[in-house]
Amino acid sequence: MKFKLVAVLFLLFISCHDDDPLIADAELEGEWTLSDVICYCAFASDIDFSLTKVSFNPNKNSVTVTSESEYSFFRNNGEHTYGGQANRINFSDGSVYYFETKGELLTLTFEDNPDIADDEITYIFKR
């Protein structure tokens, strides 16, 4: 009986192994400037997104946000630590973003809640 219990526990343990790599954030490193926000929201035509900058430090798993705008777009000013896996960044407040880099562009897309109709938002940053 003990052998069966140990075998079942072993099978459960190996079946829970996660093959996804840790967050692939090396390409995030450096400073990025916000260039656009895509959402179900309205902004004044003269809004200057470039007043918001983010700087990723993968060695510390942190992003520093500096904004001279009266609006807070991506996150509040300051340093924010993150975790994640593969192409997902999650912050301590529970917010999760998918990221994609293509050359000089970084796209961060908020992982929306299907129960909330208008929470989709995407941030476009440039180097």
64, 89 Cβ separation under 8 angstroms: no
User: Binning pLDDT at 50, 70 and 90, where does residue 13 land?
Assistant: very low
DSSP H or E segment with residue 12: helix 2-15
User: Binning pLDDT at 50, 70 and 90, where does residue 15 land?
Assistant: very low
Strand partners for 65? 54, 78
Strand partners for 52? 67
Rounded to an integer, the average pLDDT of 102-125 is 85
pLDDT of res. 90: 93
CA 15 – CA 8 distance, rounded (Å):
11
**What domains are defined for the chain?**
20-126 (2.40.128)
Asked if residue 4 has pLDDT above 60, the reply is no
Rounded to an integer, the average pLDDT of 26-32 is 93
Mean pLDDT score of the chain, rounded to an integer?
A: 83
112, 120 Cβ separation under 8 angstroms: yes
Give residue for tokens 């459960």.
12
